[in-house]
Structure formats: structure tokens, C-alpha cells
Amino acid sequence: MSGLQEKEEAKDNIVVWEDLVNIKDLVLAISICSVTTLGAYFIAPNEPPLPLFYGLSGALIGFIISSIFIKPKRVFEEVKGDE
């Protein structure tokens, strides 16, 4: 990869918990999880524990959808050393 490509790629990424994250993917995942969590929360019946459980279920569904749409971009290279 050339230096120019690395600079352009680095410009599209931010550091989150000491890991590089693509800004577009991060915004997409936050949007999906917010919509599913709030949607499930607002459709929950108004009995005390149900909004919590619906909201948590919506967050889990949002996580699953995000993990399907956003694929990891890491590349692992195995380096064999001297044994």
C-alpha cells in the first residue's frame, strides 16, 4: 500500500479503545442500534419491567443487524519465526 493510500485510509478512521474504526461504519452502527433500541422501548407496554426488557432486546437486535451489515476489515498475517 502506498503512502498516499495509507493517509487517505487513516483520514477515514478514528481511534476508539486503542483500535482504528471507520467513521462511516461507526455512525451506521450507532444509528441502527439507536433506532432498534428506541423503537422497541416505545412499543413496550407501560408495565414497569417491560420497557427495560424490550429496550435491551432492541439493542441486541441492533447489534446483530450491525454485525451482519458491517464486516471486519482486519487482516491477520501469520509470521513464522525461528523455532
How much is the average pLDDT of 5-14?
73
How much is the average pLDDT of 30-51?
97
According to the model, what pLDDT value does residue 4 have?
Answer: 63
| pTM for the whole structure | 0.78
The burial of 39, by beta-carbon neighbours within 10 Å (0-12 exposed, 13-18 middle, 19 or more buried), is given as: middle
